[in-house]
Structure 1
Amino acid sequence: MAETPWTRTLDYDYPDMTTVDDDAWAPARKAAVEAQRLRVEEIAATTQPATVDNVLRAFALSGRELDRLQRAFGVVTTADGTESRQQVRAEAAPELAAHADWITLHPGLFARFKQLRERIDSGQEDSTDEQRWFLRQLILTAKVAGADLNDADQQELKGINQQLAQEETAYSRLQVREAAESAVLIESARELTGLSESNISAARAAAQQAGHESGYLLNLTMPAQQPLLASLTHRETRRKVHQASVCRGSLAGEDGRTTRQIGAHIAVLRAKKAGLLGYENFMESVLPLRTAPSRDAVESMLRQIAAGAAVRAQKEAQRIAEHMGHDPEPWDVTFGLEQVRRSQRTDEPSADLPLDEALDRLFNAARRTYGITVVERHDLPGYVSGARSFEVFDGEALTPGSGLGLFLLDVYTRSTKSGGAWMNGFSVPSSLMGSKAVVTNNMNVSPPAEGEQTVLTKGEQRTLFHEFGHALHALLAEAEFPQLSGTAVPRDNVEFPSQVNEVFQELFRDPVPAGAVPSEEQLWGKGTSTAEHVAAVVIDIAWHTLSPDEAEGAAQDPQGFEERVMADWGLDLPLVPPRYHGGCFKHIFASAGYAAGYYSYLWAEVLAEDSNEWFREVLTDEDALAERGAHFRRELLSRGNTRDPLESFRAVLGRDPNSEPLLRTLVPEVMPSSQ
């Protein structure tokens, strides 16, 4: 095996990240790239008839060292993105973009893919359903990437891709820096009234860590509405925090540009790339590899939701004003929503839970639904300081090393950590690779004061269930090819299983009856949260449905462009800023992962709410729940992208998705009149 930055591996081939030499990433990457290039050249040069073995399997294995290396680097850099690792990432981005282009646009490799398809179609080569699906995806990906372009156009495309890699890295680095510099320093504890002692202690520790001799530092999370605003009774502090949050995107980097300007230039480059490929805009270029059928289908869903959300958000603002006795400002909304919620349920016990109790619920739900057992492994080192390790078993046979894989959890915020919450992984299940899942979940919870326990809010518990849904998608996967395993589904499908996992929180409280319309109390706050979410989706679509000339024009005034878009959609709500705007929208500008695809969360919610209704029918029946869980696991979770994900959905529910459950839970005002 090639040299790696780590010196030893643990169970399930989990790299021991405590032994990493950060100086080794770059040479290891270069060696892994060269190894894959040699293998791809061999595949392309082979004169033997194309077979599953000498084309598909050979290609799937060609980048095994690079894939393993980049997975590990991605895990530690997002969790602990030190300046040196950020520098490695910046240097690697154009190299990896060029390498990906070299593979995707390799004429000999593309020809071998097409030869294999012809031999399979003519009956000369046997293949499984998964193998045919993998081949289809490879050919489609190559075509969308420009494999059919002439040499001159391919060279231009490669240049654009390298520029994009550089710009996306520049956006990410500046955003991390701005997030740190936007943290709000508060002088006195009196200005933090309403926060828990744990949060205040964490703020004091954050200030000390940042080098402040006194005061309390409030770090910002990614979304515009900061969770701390729900508790802060000091209005001026709320204003400072909110203003710091929404004003992100104004810090100039070393080249004088802000993230807003970098993001706008990224949109210009993507528009040019789409035009070169023969598409009207960037969104049209990525839809062939998504599950949504068309832009019209996405926008039709969005307009229906946006209309109801805007009306409900305005009603919520009026109710907040009545409760507070004055017209709210934007920094009052999160606080006001929480105050009204508490007034509606004065006898409600605290929804907060200690972390270990929340984990017990999480693992208990997975056992009851999918028949798995999760056991903590105190002998395994964390991949970053404070991370915890768990082994996941199928059933109750708990022989170490014989399970489904490892689940690694890093819940605490740190200055070098990316914002938000996410799932990542060191490896995925693959019969071809002989590998199992080693997956991570990452959150940004403030660490407790010394001697105190970590407590998760209701929202953080939901995030815990959500991210573990991604982990289950990987842990329960069954695939030949790692490229199709687990969460390697289209972007607008990947959030579906994680959102389904949120329904199992209801196992520990009164479940929502299947088909029930939520009460006004249950709908409280949905207008605001949905409006800010849809607004971010609309901003993403707006940037990625422009022609090159239109994108150039929008880039002259990125903020003004977004404001006009919000007005056109009826989402220019003074009290409800978009969840993300172009200056702090890492999902779409720090990488291409969610570009023209942030709608994926809502699209996946259509699938998830439909499936949740199906699960709610049996939440109070343990045997029926286990039966449906086994069916969902077998036909959907284990399948990953080994077949069309919509086919997997149909295999579970026996029909196409129905959007009515989602509309009922978000904005019942726009339910079809026939209901």
Structure 2
Amino acid sequence: MEHTEQRSAAQNTTMGPPPTQNPLLEVGTLDYGLTDLSLIQDEHWLPALEAGIAAQREVVAAIAEDDSPGTVATVLHPLGLSHRLLSRVERAFSCMFSVHATDERQQVQQELAQQLAGHRDWLTLHPGLYRRLSALESALAQGETSASPEQQRMLAKTLEQSRAAGAGLEEATQAQLREINLELSAAETAYAQLQRHEAAVHAVHYAEDSELAGLSEQELASARAAAREAGHDSGALLHLNLPVQQAPLERMSVRDSRRRLHEASTARGTLTDDQGRTTSQIGAQIALLRARRAQMLGFKHHLDSVLPARTAEDRASIEAMLRTIADGARARLGTELQTLHEAGVVDGAGPDGAGPDGAGRDGATLDGAAQETPSEDAATLRPWDISFGIAAVAKQRSAADSTRSNQQDPATQGQSVPLEEALRRVFEAASRLYGITVVERRDLPGFAPGARSFEVFERSAEQRPGAGVGLFLLDLFARPSKSGGAWMNSFSVASTLTGSSPVVINALNITAPAPGEEAALTTLAMRTLFHEFGHALHGLLAEAEFEELSGTAVPRDNVEFPSQVNEIFQELFTGGLAEAGQTPPAEELWGKGFSTFEHIAAVVLDLAWHTLSVEEAEAATLDPEGFSAQALAAWGLDHPLVPPRYGTGFFKHIFAGSGYAAGYYSYLWAQVLAADASQWYREQLGAPPSAEEREQALVAAGAQVRRELLARGNTRDPLESYRITFGRDPAMGALLRQLGL
């Protein structure tokens, strides 16, 4: 990984504005138009947002009042330029709020969300703008004007969005829709804030280090520091991450400590806000509002209202995929749980069948030998034993198998990889595939505490940095003010119309190292880093005229596909990509039943909430948790040992915003695409006999994917891009093999 303090010739080197000015009102003065975020104060956000809204409304009013024949130059281009300031403000706040939501920013976010919801309704329902867009559509159909394929797609998507919002409906109906949208925005904000607060409140404090036996010294040091930061005089504190299965459960050998952490995780959804509502109750109200909106737009339920903007054809095709996977996952989970029963993975058994001191605790050991007669409860698997047991059996099998070719690589042995080595691998894989070079920029201010900045260049023939592509900003470590999980976001996206370049972020929630220690990534964190950088590449390598079609602006059930493909390139550093058509070895399939089952249970929960009629949604608000339980039982996914990955009370994806509402299936849908595309990569690399020829094949395959898929974003139908790139329609076979189903 290279490092430089130099800026390329094409970059802006102007000094930033005086602190007394609002830095958001002008194009950023740092490289690639990035605003110097260190100059932004909380009082800057609302005035800048209001200025952005006013600027766009002025342009839209002019478009609507223009009586000249509609063309791309008089309608689409002005509309595409109208939001430059608004987008800059909205994107910057979204990036910074997600990684560092201070109390002040949470107050700002409520006001921003309300104003943006009202403005979006004004824009999508504007009668004069809708008239001009419709007239341009007619003119193109009649051959009275012309447009490129991307411009035609932009027009179609804009009209699709307006019609889905209610454009063309009676004014009274539109007024009702606006009211619902404002209520939804307020409820989604309330859900997000209470969910974040509840995660902090439910953090688990342990008085003694011995209660956390099995965790690494780095994890313990971080937990002690978290306890001090939270105001505890001693002990260690484990914060809750978003999924129900907390990562430390895999390593915590004290059973009662696991119980406390798991119960804290599943207890989310019980605290109330200042209106006396739990997140579960707020989530149910959100589902009701979405059902009402869908009904007003002429749809049966919310899923039907969003399907026109997805790649899935209909509900039946989604559920057909889910049932195939659910049936296989249920059967595989049963086999895995039986293995855990037989292995005796219960009270305190470490991965080698003993406690941390070499002696079993008061229960059965991994090989079934008991140190003393266990009670019935001690010998019975409980929900907090499952991820621990899965990890314990995996480690035992790994230790017993000394013949694997990749045994020396830490990432394949469940060990941690030093952070700098992990970053080197991620960047090198992208360099080999897509012909880019990543260089650290220590001279740029971080957008969050501890964040790092990198510049991405085209790689020249001399393997040195060439033309600048964009900036990649990385925020790795967890903090109480940060959203849970991992994600990609953008300060700006590639657009030839607005002249903007990509500036993207990746945010993870890795445990920070103790002072003086080096950070290291677990196997799971490594996969997450590759996954999120796949999203980043989708944004960095985009080529588009309109920001609205650039990079990751693809349908929700397509956006996860390129990032999942990027996960397989970890294999480049552990012996090369596996051959096409192979079923993964048993050790890689171990635990897939468990992980797939909890995932698909969450998918079903999402679809259950968003396929309700108004009457059904009203009934569900009376008992949200009861409705959730019934929905899981209807699919046979109400397992007492394996709760859904996200419960109604902490399902941020679908209730803290609308992006994944009725779309959490997207991860599995994208997995079908990703598994089939990964198979294609393996096919391309399977024939060349020499290492040099295999590398050439890798470069050629990467160039094709970059050119025909990553660069295209949503400038054409993503499924068409898939067919052009890979030469076929995606099939489920590769995914079923990957999941052992």
- Among candidates 654, 671, 675, match of residue 588 of structure 1: 654
What letter matches 1:530 in structure 2? T
- Among candidates 597, 602, 611, match of residue 663 of structure 2: 597
Instruction: Name the residue aligned to 1:645.
Output: 718
Alignment of 1:270-669 (within 5 A): 270-323=290-343, 324=345, 325=364, 326-346=379-399, 347=402, 348=407, 350-351=410-411, 352-396=416-460, 402-510=467-575, 511-619=577-685, 621-668=694-741
Task: Report the Cα distance in structure 2 between the residues aligned to 1:641 and 1:398, rounded to whole angstroms.
Answer: 31
Task: Report the Cα distance in structure 2 between the residues aligned to 1:35 and 1:368, rounded to whole angstroms.
Answer: 43
Instruction: Tell me how far 1:203 sits from its aligned partner.
Output: 0.3
Task: Report the Cα distance in structure 1 between the residues aligned to 2:713 and 2:523, rounded to whole angstroms.
Answer: 29
What secondary structure sits across from 2:715 in the alignment? coil
Alignment of 1:260-279 (within 5 A): 260-279=280-299
What secondary structure sits across from 1:658 in the alignment? coil
Task: Report the Cα distance in structure 2 between the residues aligned to 1:80 and 1:236, rounded to whole angstroms.
Answer: 33
Alignment of 1:213-232 (within 5 A): 213-232=233-252
Deviations 1:246-286 (A, max 9, x none): 11111111111100000000000000000000000000000
Matched length: 668
- Work out whether 1:247 is the aligned partner of 2:303: no
Could you tell me whether the CA contact under 8 Å between 1:431 and 1:480 is conserved in 2? yes
The answer for unaligned runs of 5 or more in structure 1 is: 669-675
The answer for unaligned runs of 5 or more in structure 2 is: 1-16, 346-363, 365-378, 686-690
- Work out whether 1:157 is the aligned partner of 2:177: yes
Instruction: Tell me how far 1:513 sits from its aligned partner.
Output: 1.6
Instruction: Tell me how far 1:4 sits from its aligned partner.
Output: 3.7
Instruction: Name the residue aligned to 2:361.
Output: none
Could you tell me whether the CA contact under 8 Å between 2:291 and 2:612 is conserved in 1? yes
Q: Which segment drifts farther, 270-279 or 85-94?
A: 85-94
Deviations 1:335-365 (A, max 9, x none): 1000100111104554210110001000110
What secondary structure sits across from 1:492 in the alignment? coil
Could you tell me whether the CA contact under 8 Å between 1:11 and 1:401 is conserved in 2? no
What letter matches 1:82 in structure 2? T
What secondary structure sits across from 2:468 in the alignment? coil
Could you tell me whether the CA contact under 8 Å between 1:423 and 1:467 is conserved in 2? yes
Could you tell me whether the CA contact under 8 Å between 1:248 and 1:584 is conserved in 2? yes
Deviations 1:535-555 (A, max 9, x none): 000000000000001001011
TM-score, with structure 2 as normaliser = 0.89
Q: Which segment drifts farther, 377-386 or 265-274?
A: 377-386
What letter matches 2:71 in structure 1? T
Instruction: Tell me how far 1:172 sits from its aligned partner.
Output: 0.3
Task: Report the Cα distance in structure 2 between the residues aligned to 1:228 and 1:35, rounded to whole angstroms.
Answer: 49
Task: Report the Cα distance in structure 2 between the residues aligned to 1:554 and 1:181, rounded to whole angstroms.
Answer: 27
- Work out whether 1:98 is the aligned partner of 2:107: no
Instruction: Tell me how far 1:398 sits from its aligned partner.
Output: 8.8
Task: Report the Cα distance in structure 2 between the residues aligned to 1:69 and 1:398, rounded to whole angstroms.
Answer: 37
1:401/1:429 CA distance change after superposition, 3 Å: farther
Structure number, greater radius of gyration: 2
Instruction: Tell me how far 1:617 sits from its aligned partner.
Output: 2.4
Task: Report the Cα distance in structure 1 between the residues aligned to 2:541 and 2:41, rounded to whole angstroms.
Answer: 32
Could you tell me whether the CA contact under 8 Å between 1:6 and 1:16 is conserved in 2? no
- Among candidates 8, 23, 38, match of residue 18 of structure 1: 38
Could you tell me whether the CA contact under 8 Å between 1:309 and 1:528 is conserved in 2? yes
Q: Which segment drifts farther, 323-332 or 548-557?
A: 323-332
Q: Which segment drifts farther, 206-215 or 537-546?
A: 206-215
Instruction: Name the residue aligned to 1:673.
Output: none
Instruction: Tell me how far 1:95 sits from its aligned partner.
Output: 1.4
Q: Which segment drifts farther, 318-327 or 593-602?
A: 318-327
Instruction: Name the residue aligned to 1:115.
Output: 135
Deviations 1:424-465 (A, max 9, x none): 111011001111110000000111011110000000000000
Could you tell me whether the CA contact under 8 Å between 2:584 and 2:738 is conserved in 1? yes
Instruction: Tell me how far 1:10 sits from its aligned partner.
Output: 0.9
Task: Report the Cα distance in structure 2 between the residues aligned to 1:202 and 1:390, rounded to whole angstroms.
Answer: 26
Task: Report the Cα distance in structure 1 between the residues aligned to 2:236 and 2:606, rounded to whole angstroms.
Answer: 35
Could you tell me whether the CA contact under 8 Å between 2:459 and 2:465 is conserved in 1? no
Instruction: Tell me how far 1:667 sits from its aligned partner.
Output: 3.7
Task: Report the Cα distance in structure 1 between the residues aligned to 2:153 and 2:23, rounded to whole angstroms.
Answer: 32
Instruction: Tell me how far 1:9 sits from its aligned partner.
Output: 2.7
- Work out whether 1:126 is the aligned partner of 2:179: no
Task: Report the Cα distance in structure 2 between the residues aligned to 1:525 and 1:370, rounded to whole angstroms.
Answer: 33
Task: Report the Cα distance in structure 1 between the residues aligned to 2:29 and 2:481, rounded to whole angstroms.
Answer: 25
Instruction: Name the residue aligned to 1:257.
Output: 277
What letter matches 1:149 in structure 2? L
Task: Report the Cα distance in structure 1 between the residues aligned to 2:643 and 2:699, rounded to whole angstroms.
Answer: 42
Deviations 1:61-112 (A, max 9, x none): 1111000100000000000001111111111212111100000001110111
1:399/1:37 CA distance change after superposition, 3 Å: farther
Could you tell me whether the CA contact under 8 Å between 1:168 and 1:591 is conserved in 2? yes
TM-score, with structure 1 as normaliser = 0.97
Instruction: Tell me how far 1:512 sits from its aligned partner.
Output: 2.2
Instruction: Tell me how far 1:399 sits from its aligned partner.
Output: 8.8
Deviations 1:8-48 (A, max 9, x none): 63111111111111111111111111111111100111011
Task: Report the Cα distance in structure 2 between the residues aligned to 1:401 and 1:597, rounded to whole angstroms.
Answer: 39
What secondary structure sits across from 1:298 in the alignment? helix
Instruction: Tell me how far 1:400 sits from its aligned partner.
Output: 8.2
Task: Report the Cα distance in structure 1 between the residues aligned to 2:464 and 2:51, rounded to whole angstroms.
Answer: 37
What secondary structure sits across from 2:650 in the alignment? coil
1:307/1:223 CA distance change after superposition, 3 Å: same
What letter matches 1:542 in structure 2? A
Instruction: Name the residue aligned to 2:348.
Output: none
Instruction: Tell me how far 1:195 sits from its aligned partner.
Output: 0.3
Instruction: Name the residue aligned to 1:193.
Output: 213
Instruction: Tell me how far 1:656 sits from its aligned partner.
Output: 1.3
Could you tell me whether the CA contact under 8 Å between 2:22 and 2:40 is conserved in 1? no
Instruction: Name the residue aligned to 1:65.
Output: 85
Instruction: Name the residue aligned to 2:6.
Output: none
What letter matches 1:353 in structure 2? V
Instruction: Name the residue aligned to 1:28.
Output: 48
Could you tell me whether the CA contact under 8 Å between 1:110 and 1:142 is conserved in 2? yes
What letter matches 2:340 in structure 1? I
Instruction: Name the residue aligned to 2:61.
Output: 41
Could you tell me whether the CA contact under 8 Å between 2:215 and 2:251 is conserved in 1? yes
The percentage of aligned residue pairs carrying the same residue is 53
Could you tell me whether the CA contact under 8 Å between 1:5 and 1:21 is conserved in 2? no
What letter matches 2:235 in structure 1? G
Instruction: Tell me how far 1:5 sits from its aligned partner.
Output: 4.4
Instruction: Tell me how far 1:402 sits from its aligned partner.
Output: 4.0
What letter matches 2:200 in structure 1? A
